[in-house]
Structure 1
Amino acid sequence: MKKLLFLALVTVTAQASIKNIQYFEANFTQNIVDDENKTITYKGHIKAAKPQYALWQYKSPVDKQVYILPHKIVIVEPELEQAIIKRIGDNFDFFSLIKNAKKIDNKHYLANFRGKNYLITINNSILVSISYKDELDNKITINFTNTNTDKKIEEKSFIPQIPEDYDLIKE
């Protein structure tokens, strides 16, 4: 679950242009490499808007939607016919987190959040990837393509769509 919280980081682009960014949309590929060098790859699409809304739409290898909202996360899993609602104790503002990341060079920034370092890679002021290690020491790399920061994303895009017949799990 903590991995999902940190995934919200991608709702921003580079420090150089963050002051003007209100929306973020892209395709993503997320690679998770464990300590035995085994890799799991997820693919999908992300939409995000300030201050802290995000929708991760996983397409492969599983169909799943992860809604990141102020004070909660909602995970809709069609294959399991369930939705999980988890409260977030703190108010996460990832746009500010990235804005305060330290520049390493022209393409790399380093952000620290709750004791973990995140390497942010940009190219021409466009977010290209975020890399970090999770609490299990897995290496996570999220690569972005077809990035758009100009298209307005309506807040209603972040309202979880949970079918009535799904099991609802509250944590």
Structure 2
Amino acid sequence: MRISTTLVSAALLAVAQAGVPAVSLEFQSWESCDIGAPARGEPKSKASLVATSVTCEKTTVNRDWSIDHYSFKAYLATKESVFCSGVHVWNNADCSGDDDYFMPLTGEPVVQGVCLPEFLDPGFVSFKLECGYPGIHGAELGAGGEGSEGGDADDNDSGF
């Protein structure tokens, strides 16, 4: 499944206006590349979508017989994206269970992931951003107390 650039652009505009961390993500399929090295050149095929920290986005796995490798490329799309550490990748349609791969983000505006072996089963691959806001804890967001130190145990239960 290929999503048009118009739809990706519309989705990016919507999340940018909402202040949600987002990346424009390419799921790339390769005939050949050096496993563990950044994927270079033009992939055999790619699917584009917008991954956020609050939604699970999916696309189909390209099952062309000539595909032997995968990679991911991320473009930080909103200013909030700098607080994201990476993209979780699942080999299912609903971001459930343990992820199958984690693509780290480096804070650079564009991150080309490394070449991976063919590890995905037929069906879907789904994506979700992992984001946290350093220095912000439940107490600082109005959960009570004088900050993230001390107070009730629940004050620091923000997951960041």
Instruction: Please indicate the TM-score interval, normalised by the length of the shorter structure.
Output: under 0.3
TM-score by length of 1: 0.24
More strand by percentage: 1
Larger radius of gyration: 2
TM-score by length of 2: 0.26
